[in-house]
Structure 1
Amino acid sequence: MANRIIFFHGGGSKEDYDADKKLVESLEDSLGAPYSIHYPFLPNDGSPDLGRRNQIKEAISESEDGVILVAHSLGASMLLACLSEFNIERRIAGIFLIATPFWAGSEDWVVPFKLRQDFAETIDKNIPLFLYHCQDDEEVPFIQLANYQRELPWATFREIPSGGHQLNNDLHVVAKDLLSLKLA
């Protein structure tokens, strides 16, 4: 049986989905069998947070226990929000977050994307959690990784010197960590 991975893309457009497809392909190439990646399109449904929390919750609930969650950019921040706001019924084997924005400010458009103040207290510390960020990310400033380092000190952080927001479409570093998981 394949180890199931769900990959959540950034943004909410077909263009964003297509751009992150290269990340999925890199991960598939780096992992090979027996891994299977489910890559759902999560469209902007018009709700303030693009409906992302509920879309992610639904995708996880449709999976089996032992699912591995990988997410990029907006998808990564919304995955964290989902995991901290909902009771997830599935056993999660690992969480891998790439170029994750840490939303701050009080502007009307920012508020729906922000994590709850107590989000870190609700994340299961027994689930391996990895965060990756390139120092030359042109979309999500590298300094935002420090916010997660402060809030999630038990997580593993990978500071990547270069690769931009898309990590040069090369997720071998993520695959290496994913392969290190002891899967049941």
Structure 2
Amino acid sequence: MKKQVIVIHGGMTFDRYEYYMSFLKNKDVEIDDFKTGGGWKNSLAKELGNDFEILNPRMPNSANARYEEWKIWFAKMSPFIEEGAVLMGQSLGGIFLAKCLSEISLPKKLKALILVSAPFDQAEHETLGDFGLPSSIDNCARQAEKIFLIHSKDDPIVPFSESAKYQKSFPTAELIIFEDRGHFNQETFPELVGLIKGLR
């Protein structure tokens, strides 16, 4: 049986619709903004190989994300999450998982929860909208055998200090620190591939 890995991507939030519209009108774009997404999330299946099944769901309206919309979509996927799956979220996807798994219990235990560049209560240059965490995220920690926090010290979007806040809530979590990966907008992520393959 293949080992299941589920990746929840990031997104953006805006407090008001007019802020979102202003962002769309004023955003500077390059041709790459209109190409099919690349990056490590899309190369993960190839890098991990045939022993793994990768689910990479497209969460609703990631350019102006709303927590309740994401929660509904995640709830539709949750019956397909297998025992021992690896659940991973990057950036907004990370705080989404921390909040959602604090509110609901999955039917099966996760092998690992991996949060990559996840904001805890702040992000540079943008709001977290309705993705803010509840006062306790203990239920989230109970749903995975292992928790990994991955962050780079030079992240320009989510301050590195956010990972220390997660460590207070998840004292047994392993923090994996990088010096120069920014917000992990890269084509491949060999260290993450090695981490997933090494899970027992």
Q: What range describes the TM-score normalised by the shorter chain of this pair? A: 0.7 to 0.9
Match for residue 101 of structure 1 among 113, 119, 136: 119
**Larger Rg belongs to:** 2
Instruction: Check the 8 A contact 1:125/1:154 in 2, yes or no.
Output: no
After TM superposition, give the deviation of residue 104 of structure 1 in Å. Answer: 4.9
1:66-85 CA distance string (max 9 Å, x none): 22112111011101111111
Q: How many residues align?
A: 177
Match for residue 117 of structure 1 among 116, 132, 135: 135
1:68 aligns with 2:86: yes
Structure 2, unmatched stretches of 5+, are: 14-31
1:161 corresponding residue in structure 2: 179
Instruction: Check the 8 A contact 2:85/2:111 in 1, yes or no.
Output: yes
After TM superposition, give the deviation of residue 103 of structure 1 in Å. Answer: 2.0
1:10 corresponding residue in structure 2: 10
Match for residue 151 of structure 2 among 133, 139, 142: 133
1:155-180 CA distance string (max 9 Å, x none): 01111111111253332111222122
2:59 corresponding residue in structure 1: 42
Distance 1:9 1:21, change over 3 A: farther
Instruction: Check the 8 A contact 2:149/2:174 in 1, yes or no.
Output: yes
CA distance in structure 2 between the aligned counterparts of 1:19 and 1:124, rounded to whole angstroms: 36
Instruction: Check the 8 A contact 2:122/2:162 in 1, yes or no.
Output: no
After TM superposition, give the deviation of residue 131 of structure 1 in Å. Answer: 0.9
2:22 corresponding residue in structure 1: none
Match for residue 45 of structure 2 among 12, 28, 50: 28
The alignment yields a C-alpha RMSD, in angstroms, of: 2.8
After TM superposition, give the deviation of residue 26 of structure 1 in Å. Answer: 3.7
1:86-129 CA distance string (max 9 Å, x none): 02112212111111011259xxx646211111113552175111
Distance 1:28 1:48, change over 3 A: closer
CA distance in structure 2 between the aligned counterparts of 1:97 and 1:55, rounded to whole angstroms: 19
CA distance in structure 2 between the aligned counterparts of 1:42 and 1:133, rounded to whole angstroms: 22
Instruction: Check the 8 A contact 1:98/1:133 in 2, yes or no.
Output: yes
Structure 1, unmatched stretches of 5+, are: none
In structure 1, what residue type is equivalent to 2:50?
A
- Determine helix, strand or coil for the equivalent of 2:39: helix
Larger CA deviation: 110-119 vs 136-145: 110-119
